Amino acid sequence: MTDDVPTLALNDGRMIPQVGFGVWQVSNEDIIPAVSTALEVGYRHIDTAAIYGNEEGVGKAIADSGIPRDELFVTTKLWNTRHHDVVDAAKESLDKLGLDHVDLYLIHWPSPTKGDYIRAWEQMQEVRAQGLSRSIGVSNFTQTHLDTILALIDTVPAVNQIELHPTFAQRAMSAYNASKGIVTEAYSPLGLSQDLQDPAVVEIAEELNRTPAQVILRWHLQKGHVVFPKSVTSSRIKENFRLFDFELDDKAMKAIDGVDAGNRTNQDPDEFF
């Protein structure tokens, strides 16, 4: 891992870089140059998923980079239609990535209306036992979903990746994750484009001579979240990585906390297929 990037301890004893490069909605045309740029800049944590359709491109960029595998942290995710054949789904993702293991494998959504996240979590144990993934976790799980699996299965997810940004701060969910020893990962960390124009965020950015995006990403780091900025633009990829040479004081942190409006922008995990 690059020295500047802070890491967090997972409940299985492994370490995870606190800043990763997200590739949701990155096209096959853009995926290799985007991931290649991110790796050149210093990102060592890449977050993809089977449903993104770009695992092959991620794998190609990793292979082309020449970076030793043990310096990288790669995450992918199980799609909702594969809750009953988790091991095979994991192997298919590994084939596309060109890797013999990932560092973290997540159940992408609980999909409570059509999926079987309890069975999926049972089978995730085998994914780890076979060495297909070093760590296992979940994504988009609510407290109810987590309570359900923890009542039946002893293994606690290493992470829970959820939508989280200043206007949808998910304080209760983050606190619950922490109470169980689960690291909170934040996707869509910047929220909507208008969130970058929030007066509180803009004022802090101007005071620190930083961009609003950098300020929000720094807020996440100081909250203890793992964060996934996403861009296909080289300058933005670099900008979003420049987070480690400044801090937000308590006043700034509280100002950004005050932006929370409960604005979910993605699907509701209780309803989404």
What residues are annotated to the active site?
52
Is-contact 141 113, C-beta < 8 A?
Answer: no
Beta bridge partners of 16: 8
Q: Rounded to whole angstroms, how far apart are CA atoms 48 and 247? A: 29
Q: Rounded to whole angstroms, how far apart are CA atoms 186 and 169? A: 10
Q: Rounded to whole angstroms, how far apart are CA atoms 253 and 201? A: 10
Is-contact 22 38, C-beta < 8 A?
Answer: no
DSSP state for residue 192 in the 8-state scheme: S
Mark out the alpha helices in the chain (DSSP H runs): 28-41, 55-65, 86-97, 117-129, 143-152, 171-179, 199-208, 212-223, 234-239, 250-257
Beta bridge partners of 135: 104
- E strand or H helix at 46: strand 45-47
**DSSP string across 234-259:** HHHHHHTT--SS----HHHHHHHHTT
220 is in an annotated binding site: no
Is-contact 166 265, C-beta < 8 A?
Answer: no
Residues making up the annotated binding site are 108
